[in-house]
Amino acid sequence: MGKQIGFSGDLPSWGEKMVRVLIVEDIQVHREIIRTELRSRFPSLVIEEASTGEEALKKINVLLPQLIFMDIGLPDANGLQLTQRIKADFPDIKIAILTVYDLPEYRQAAIQYGADRFFVKDSLKWDEIATFVKSVPEA
């Protein structure tokens, strides 16, 4: 069985800011955990999910999210390359890479491909995610 996503820390309260979020993750339980944690702390978020790169691109064109949480390993796409493609077309979308690989080369690649943040799934710190979400301007 794969690694579980760990959560540490509490999020400070954050008001009712309206932000559209897309979670791009192929593992359903990971999407559910991220969605549930975000929703419990930020009830006004509009959250959509995609399990493939193709589905993500379709949803981006409809949802026009301000924030994307992007897995690196998708069944039909490399999340880093997908990040680069999204940033080329939508430079204002904030993208956070989610991965189980806490390696310097992955962090460097995320920066090179245009990601705004890098989070390791099994050691997510929700106060850092809160700060990141707060940095996203409303539409």
CA distance 29 to 19: 23
**Could you tell me the pTM of the whole model?**
0.86
Q: What's the one-letter identity of residue 66?
A: Q
What tens-digit pLDDT sequence spans the chain (139 residues)?
A: 333 334 333 333 445 568 999 999 999 999 999 999 899 888 889 999 999 999 999 999 999 999 999 999 999 999 999 999 999 999 999 999 999 989 999 999 999 999 999 999 888 888 899 889 988 887 6
CATH class of 17-133: alpha beta
The DSSP output letter for 122 is G
Q: pLDDT value at position 124? A: 84
Q: pLDDT value at position 98? A: 93
The DSSP element (H or E) to which 107 belongs, if any, is helix 104-112
Question: Partners of 8 in the beta sheet?
Answer: 125
